Structure formats: structure tokens, C-alpha cells
Chains A and B, each alone.
Chain A
């Protein structure tokens, strides 16, 4: 039970959404864009956020797109994780999102919501971070296309009223060899100790991780791809290079253990890229 009341709007167009947001701001209200709503509802119930209105973007056609056009996979921000996984459109992304929360909730969580959320893992972003993905955002009633990493460094940096409408991924990336590893403390359904998503392009391995720090981040490409260096050493060097980013906590794991697990995950990743073309674990 949420202890406070708020208004609910379900616009049919981007313009309506933007206009509604604007009007609410003018009226001195605090609106939130609302995708799957899982995080908003649970945080509202816990009393850790307050707002005056939600603008549900699920009826906006652009936010629901899931198609390939002009060699780009277009994923609307309100597309659910289940839909992405079931569509098979981007295997690495499918694999990654089907390990977020649990299967039932994946049918409610949207890709936009996962990336814009306040829970630090944002695992859906990992495959996008390593594939030069772009985003289309709506800003002052206009659509802008820009690289994801320009507005997302693990945290999403959007101004009030701005909204991610779509994610765009070059189709060349979709079927590259990939590796997805999610390690939890023990249980399968849990926040990640580490989630790693990696692909292997002609230029080498690109990898991003979640769970190690207070936001997802890219692993240093240069170290990962030092061809003359043995893989175990590369794994060690990678851990060394990012160890200042790594956090420890009471519930999931301490910092040293996270470093130990990361090293194992990296070794496993190198192995997998050697052995198999598609390496989901």
C-alpha cells in the first residue's frame, strides 16, 4: 500500500507526454515518467520517494517499437525485458535481461526503466554500453539522437522532462560472439555480485560490468586486449586497474572477494571466447 496519492496519465503520443510533463511542472507538481513502474511502486510503498504524478509511457507507439530498420535494431524504452528476451533480437541483451530480477517481473520491467532506475545494477545497460549504441531522447518536444554513453556513464544524465524514447543498436553487433556471466552471492535470483557482458569484435573484446561499483562501468579495453600478455595476467591487471572502483558491502560481499570473483569471471570469459562462438554462462 502506497501511503500517498498521485495522479496517473497515460499519453498516446510523445507530444502529449511532453506536454503533460510540462503542465505538471508549471502547476508546481513533481511528475515521473513511468515505464514498468516496479521500482517506482516499491520505493513509493517504502516511503523512499514521493511524487505527484506518473506519466505512463506504455501507450506511446515509439516507446513500444521493437524492429530492425536501416541496419539498426530499434528498441523502444517501454519494451519489457520479457519481450526482448523472447524476441531473440539481440542474444546478448536477451541473455542479460533474462537474469534481471525474476522471470515474472521481467514482463513488467522495461528496458528504459532498468537503465533509468535508481537501483545501482542497471544490467540491461551492459550490452548497450559495449556496442556503441545510440539513444533517441525527447527534449523540449524534439527528438534527438545521440550516443548512449554521452548521457549514460553508469548513471543516466537527463534533464527534467527529457525521456529516452528508443535505443538503437547497429545490427553488426547483434550476432557477434558474446559472453554473459552473472555471479551472485549464491542464489540464482539475486542482485549481482558481478554481471559481465562482453562481445568480441574484430578489434577485440569489449566488456562492461555491474555490481562491482555503485554503477555499471566499462572494463579497460586496452588491458583486456593486450595480445602478448597471458590471459590470467590480463585478468589480474584488469582487476588491479579498477580495484579502486570496487565496493564492498555487508549483504552481498566484501571488496576482496569481489576482486577474486571478478578475476575468475575474466578468466572464464577469455576461455569462453576461445572455445565457443556464443558463450552465455
Chain B
């Protein structure tokens, strides 16, 4: 049992959040600042013929109007393919076209309404398959001319493909020869929204001395800094990005967009502070959303259920611009087989431009989509062979000694114990009572399973850091560059430090805000990597402190550092605990009775860098994308009405190999939140486009998410197979609750209704269509 690890620790900012005092970006209220608003494209694909700003320019309070022609830059995290304001043409419904800067929000908005843009509609690429057709309309005619910011992204000239990741493992031909059974299926998943409750917001001020001060609701303050530097050649040391609390991110706030616009706006008004905050409608389509996916999977198996070979095509709908989608396609390719061992694999993951809103990272980073496909395939295989769904997964489970699709050797430490997750799931969901139970009143109760394994796809040199300083009373200040977006990361960092120093967590103060000038760099608060990366940096910083404390105390207490031990803010002799110094005595220097002083201020520095990660081979995909995998097994139990074709979700279960659960209630909360969101994806969340690519549901009135009372009983359990290089064995765990849930729901509904679900979300209307054979 640890000192504090494994205990429920209330988040440090809890009382600030229940009193309305916790501040978020848009809570910065000041008189005299300017507001920016955007005119966005009403078309999905159109030429901009002319823009008439004359009426708006003379409108009340207007300070500046900026169009694409005023800015001569392209930006993007991987490929510089996006003008901050559309130039010559628009590529998605909601794309920013004109920005108005005015003295207040109302005047900015009123002026936007006075701008007249003359568009000439172009043929719309309204799906991935449209985009991949021969002679498809090209969304980016000059794809080959774009600057790439990374070497390992491969756009295909003369096409709508902005990235292509290949996995070639084993011998496909041999695999097909050995197969006794082939299953093939196509899947379609729509784009959808992050819908964090706080819409995205940013402010920028440019000081007379050149300093660019940005405040933003971002998960990636250091990326904001880099992108402003790269796009506008502002010296990186002049850019300071501040982040307060962030009202939910789910990946959506890792993309950089409003910050660029805020910078452009501030620059245009002589550096004056400009604030830009998305309305909900713009937050849904103007700023990035979740990827869509079209996939085609073919597997070959033995009659005993063992999968021998798989051929997979995952085509990611990245919308009008690439953003980070090629990395999501990479993530899909890296884990293309799910938590299963398949010896022979061919996988092609494309990122494909369409005239849909731009997609970016979203909770699960592509894994929810890929798991949907793989987990439906597992059920189809099980059904074809009359093998129980959990059994078929067990037969194929990824175990120690197997090789991943990118040919990384699986160990218990780096991948945990997936089989044990399946075993525990069986108990949790009461599997033995049966999977499809016919009840009275035309009701059927059914259970479906969905599993996952997930690694991260960070840059191979992603870093994190922690700085520790002492207050004069011996309490500690912890400063790290991870953003508090909701999962309680800052508190987890304090918990890890408290464990390492065996001290009261109440005596550790964590700086909640991130300020890129003083906070150590942390790659991004994404990918379920924060506990791992920051945690490692915390331990490293604590070790630095401990070394200094022991050395200092050894001098004062006239012993060797090895004679001493630290706990409860005391440094004491192992042999006689009555001989000790307190942190207070020493951390700001120790003073002898005659006034002589030694030791000085003690500060801890800790850092972390990813090691052993490598680029994937362009032709085979061989390489190591992330430091470890987190595996898990999930299930959903539904009640289906055979007459109305409606269903209710009764239970949702998750078993995950957590390595070690650090803060149980916090971890459970994050998992339940993910499961709830997964049920949202399964039941209702999706962008609906008309034939012209116009998104029809841009408000919460029509974009439906789970509400109180619609959620099931959550059942959660853990396997704890320690990850040897992680803080206290704790495997990264955050996004995972969402990953297998849509698949589990689809499997449950497929079984209950006797249909083949290959699309999400699953509405009663769609079940009815399949049951009644009605054409859509």
C-alpha cells in the first residue's frame, strides 16, 4: 500500500469550481478591449468572387476588417495548407472568410451582418468515397506545393489524399492460403463534435516591446507558441501563451486556430487586446471536429477462430484541411488490428480531404473508429463460426511475445493483460446468463462487447518538465506545463509528488495556470499521456529535491546522505528518528546559531523525454509509435423493443488494465465520462450534411448528446499489471472509456434486432429500415 497512491483525492481546485470563482479564458472581463467576430462560409465549396466590406467598414465601433487577401500566410500543424481566412475559395461550411474587429461584441457582430460576399458554388466533395473517385474534384489543387512541417507525412499529388500510412506485416498471400473462412465488411462513421461545454476562445495583445501575449482555451499552449512563431516569424522568445482553466477539451482544443486569428486581429489594430470567442454554432463547424471514417476490412481465419490475415483500408475524412488528421490515420494504422494478434496484415490508412468541416484530434484519437470496425468484425467472425463473442476475442487476444502491427514486441509491462480484462468483463456484465435474452412484452435484452488497445502517437521527442520550489514553511509549489482541462491532472501530479516525498498533499500547491514563459514545456495535454509524462517529470524533480535535501541535511547533521531518510517534511536519521531537520529548517537555507548560513534555496527540476520511439517505415510501417499500450474490454447491455425498434441502454461496463489506479474516484469519473460520450456517438452524435455539404445540426437543439437520466448503470473494474517505466506502475488512462463503447452498442443492437450495424449513430429509424427492408 502506497503512502497516498490509490486514495481518493479531491481535486485541488474543487471549491473554486463550485463557487464560480475558477476562471476560464472568456471570463477575463476588461473594458477597452476589442472583440473580433467572423463571417463564415455558407457554402461547403465555393469560389470567392468578391467581398464588399464598405457598409461594415463604416459601421459603429468597427476598428478593422480583415479578409484572406490581407494575410499572406498558410498554416497547419503538419502541412501548411490552410489560410487563416479563406483565400480565393472556401473548402467547408463554416470556414472563416472575413474577420471584423470592433470595440464590443455587439458591434463586431452587427458589422459582420453588413458584409456582402459573392460566392460561386463549386461541385462539393461530400464524402470520402467521392473524394477518392477517379477524376474527383480536387479540393487543394496545389497540394504538392504546400510546405510540410514534418518529414513523415505523405500527401499524394493530384489527389485528395493528404496522408498515407502503410502497414505491411507478415506474408499476406500465405495468410489467405491458410485461411478457411473469409469475412468482409464496409463501415461508415460520421464526423461529430467535441462539444466541450466551454466554447473555444482566445485573446491576443502585442506589447510595444514586441511581446505577443496570448490567452487561450487550449490543450497545447506550447504548440500555439510554435505555430505563431512559424507562421508569422515572431521570435519564439517574444511569444507568451497563458492558459487558465479549460472547460473541457477532448482533443478539440489541441488544434490551433483562434489563437492565429487573435494574433492577426491584434496585429491589425496596433497590438490592442482583441478577444475572439466562438459561438456554439461556430464552435461546432468553424473550429475543428472529430474525423469521419470509411473503412473496408477483410479478414481470413481458421475454423478454430484464429485470425490469420487481415487486409484493411481506413479512409479518414479530415474535412477541408489536413490539421492533425494524418496523425490520426497513423494512429489507426498503428493499432489497426485492435487488441488482437494477427500475423499477416496489410493496412492502408489514408487521410482524405473532403468539403466537410476540418477534423482534429478527438478523445480516443481514431481508436473509437477503428475499434468499431474491428469489433464488429470479431462478432461477425464469432457468429459465422458459432463461437461466443468473448471466446473469439480470447482466441485472438494480443499476449506477451506477440508483435504489434508495427512489429513492436508485446510485453506484460508495455501492453498489460488484455485476456484478464476479458475475464473480468464476463463477471462484471453477468455474461453467463446469456447474451440475448427474450423477455416479455416484445422486449429483448442483449449484450455486446467492444475492446481496445491504445498507444499514443506523439512526436518521438515529446518532452515534459516540472519545477518545484519551496515556501519558507517547507510547503512546495509545483509548476508543470500540462493544462487543467478537467481530468484533474494537476492534482495527480501533486499526488505523485506527495507519494514520492511521503508528505501531506495539502502542503503541495500546484500552479493551475500554464504560462509558457515560466512553466516548463509540456508537449500537449493530450493522448492520455499526461500522467505518464508529467508523472515521470515529477518523480525526477522529487529525486532532485531529495538529493539536495539529503546532502544539505547530511552536512548539518554531520552524517552521510545515505544515513538519512525523508518523510512528513522531515529529514531524519534512519537509526534515530529523533535526530532530524524539518523542510522548514533547510529549504531556504539553514542558519546556525551564530548567524552563519549554508545550503541556500532548494529547488527541484525534473524532466522527461520519450525514448525509443521511432518514425514508422514508409513502406512497411515498422517502428515504435508510443511507449506503451493500454488495453481494455467493454460491454453494453440494451433492451430492445421488437415492435417499435427502439432501445434503452441498461448497462455499460469497462475493464481496463490500469497498471495501478492512482486516484480511484477520479479515474472512474473519467472512464464514465468517456463511456457516456461513446454512447452519444453510438446513439445520436453526428454531423448531418445536406446534398451540398452544409451541416444541418449546428446547435445543441439538433445535435443531440446524452443527458441526465439517459445514461446506463456504469460498471467499472480494473486489472493492475504494472507498467515498469510508469509512475507507480500506472498505465496512461484517460480517453479509454469511449473507445469500445460504440462497437459494444452496435454489437448488442445487431444481436438484439438481428441486423448488421455498419454505421453510426444507430437510430431506431435505421433499425426499422434494416428490419423492414426500407430503402434509405
- Interface-lining segment among A13-21, A146-154, A233-241, A251-259: A251-259
B-side interface mostly: loop
> B237 CB to closest chain A CB, in angstroms?
37
Instruction: Kindly identify which residue among B113, B644, B702, B710 contacts A3, using a CB–CB cutoff of 8 Å.
Output: B113
B707 in contact with A188 (CB, 8 Å): yes
- Answer yes or no: B110 CB below 8 A from chain A CBs: yes
CB atoms of A186 and B683 under 8 A apart:
yes
Interface check B548, CB cutoff 8 A? no
B684 smallest CB distance to A (angstroms): 5
A30-55 contact mask (Cβ, 8 Å, vs B): 1 or 0: 00000000000000001100000000
Closest to A185 in B: B763
- Using C-beta atoms within 8 Å of the partner chain, give the interface range for chain B: 20 to 34
Contacts of B281 in A (CB 8 A): 46
B704 contacts which of A190, A250, A253, A261 (Cβ < 8 Å)? A190
A2 and B701 CA atoms in complex are apart in Å by 18
The contact of A251 among B643, B702, B764, B768, by CB within 8 Å, is B702
Q: Is the beta-carbon distance between B644 and A264 smaller than 8 angstroms?
A: yes
- A187: interface (CB < 8 Å): yes
Are the C-beta atoms of A4 and B704 separated by less than 8 Å? Answer: no
B696 touches A250 (CB 8 A): yes
User: Which residues on the A side are within 8 Å of B105 (C-beta)?
Assistant: 1
Cβ of A189 within 8 Å of any chain B Cβ, yes or no, is: yes
Establish whether residues B106 and A254, one from each chain, have CB atoms under 8 Å apart when the complex forms: no
Q: Which of B91-133 contact A (CB under 8 A)?
A: 105-106, 109-110, 112-113
Contact residue range for chain A?
20 to 34
Within 8 A of B (CB), among A200-218: none
* Chain A residues with CB below 8 A from B709, complex form: 188
A-B contacts counted at CB < 8 A amount to: 56
Q: Are A257 and B765 in contact (CB under 8 A)?
A: yes
Please judge, given known A-B contacts A3-B106, A256-B774, whether A187 and B765 are in contact too, CB under 8 Å. Answer: no
Chain A residue nearest in CB terms to B680: A187
Q: Say yes or no: is B688 at the interface (Cβ < 8 Å to chain A).
A: yes
Interface residue A8 (Cβ < 8 Å from any Cβ of B): no
Residues of B within 8 A of A190 (CB): 704
B residues in contact with A261, CB < 8 Å = 644
Contact at B110–A3, with CB atoms within 8 Å? yes
Residues of chain A lying within 8 A (CB to CB) of residue B769: 257
Query: Are B690 and A250 in touch, CB under 8 angstroms?
Result: yes
The complex places the Cα of A186 from the Cα of B707 at a distance, in Å, of: 12
Do the beta carbons of B710 and A187 come within 8 Å of each other?
A: yes
CA distance A1 to B282 in the complex (A): 14
Q: A1-B106, A3-B106, A186-B704 are in contact. Are A250 and B688 (CB under 8 A)?
A: yes
Nearest chain-B residue to A101 (Cβ)? B701
B692 nearest CB across to chain A (Å): 12
CB-contacts of B678-717 with A (<8 A): 683-684, 688, 690, 696-697, 701-702, 704, 706-707, 709-710
Q: Which of B753-776 contact A (CB under 8 A)?
A: 763-765, 768-769, 772, 774, 776
The answer to whether A260 has its CB under 8 Å from any CB of chain B is: yes
Shortest CB distance A271–B (Å): 12
Bound Cα distance from A202 to B113, whole angstroms: 57
Query: Are B774 and A47 in contact, CB atoms less than 8 angstroms apart?
Result: no
Scoring A residues 248 to 281 as 1 if CB is less than 8 Å from chain B, else 0, what string do you get?
0011011011001100100000000000000000
- With a CB–CB cut-off of 8 A, which chain B residues contact A47? 113
Min Cβ gap B67→A in Å is 20
B106:A186 contact, CB within 8 angstroms = no
| Min distance, Cβ A275 to any Cβ of chain B, angstroms | 13
CA of A189 to CA of B710 in the docked complex: distance in angstroms? 10
Interface residues of A in 46-82 (CB under 8 A from B): 46-47
Contacts of A250 in B (CB 8 A): 688, 690, 696
> Are B106 and A187 closer than 8 Å at their CB atoms?
no
A254 to B768, CA, bound (A): 11
Q: For the complex formed, measure the closest distance between the CB of A1 and the CB atoms of chain B, giving whole angstroms.
A: 5
Assembled-state Cα–Cα distance A190/B106 (Å): 30
List residues of A (216-232) whose CB comes within 8 Å of B's CBs. Answer: none
Q: How far, in angstroms, from A261 to B646 measured CA to CA in the complex?
A: 10
- CA distance in complex: A250, B774 (Å): 16
Closest CB in chain B relative to A40 CB, distance in Å: 15
- State in angstroms the CA–CA spacing of A19 and B48 once bound together: 49
The distance from the CB of B283 to the nearest CB of chain A, in whole angstroms, is 14
- Residues of chain A contacted by B646 (CB below 8 angstroms): 186
Contact A4 B110 (CB under 8 A): yes
Set A1, A189, A256: member contacting B707, Cβ < 8 A? A189
B38 to chain A, nearest CB (A): 13
Contacts of B684 in A (CB 8 A): 185-187
Closest to A5 in B: B106
Instruction: Report the nearest B residue to A184, measured CB to CB.
Output: B704
Find the B residue at minimum CB distance from A187: B704
Task: Give the distance to chain A from B62, nearest Cβ to Cβ, in Å.
Answer: 13
Q: How far is the CA of A254 from the CA of B702 in the complex (A)?
A: 15
A3 and B643 contacting across the interface, CB-CB below 8 Å = no
Given A186-B704, A188-B707: A251 and B688 interface contact (C-beta under 8 Å): yes
Q: Can you name the residue of chain B whose Cβ is closest to the Cβ of A258?
A: B765
Alpha-carbon distance between A3 and B684 when the two chains are bound, in angstroms: 32
Q: Are A186 and B644 in contact (CB under 8 A)?
A: no
Residue numbers in A under 8 Å from B690 (CB-CB)? 250
Q: CA–CA, A143 to B113, complex, Å?
A: 41
Q: Could you write out 23 A-B pairs with CB less than 8 Å apart?
A: A1-B106, A1-B109, A3-B112, A3-B113, A185-B684, A186-B683, A186-B684, A186-B704, A186-B764, A187-B683, A187-B684, A187-B707, A188-B707, A188-B710, A189-B707, A191-B701, A250-B688, A250-B696, A251-B702, A253-B765, A256-B774, A257-B769, A264-B644
Q: Name the 3 nearest CB pairs between A and B, nearest first.
A: A3-B109, A3-B110, A257-B765
Residues of A whose CB lies within 8 Å of any CB of B are: 1-4, 46-47, 185-191, 250-251, 253-254, 256-257, 260-261, 264
Beyond contacts A186-B764, A188-B710, A254-B765: 5 other A-B pairs, Cβ-Cβ < 8 A, are: A2-B106, A188-B709, A191-B701, A256-B774, A261-B644
Task: Enumerate chain B interface residues (CB-CB to A < 8 A).
Answer: 105-106, 109-110, 112-113, 281, 643-644, 646, 683-684, 688, 690, 696-697, 701-702, 704, 706-707, 709-710, 763-765, 768-769, 772, 774, 776
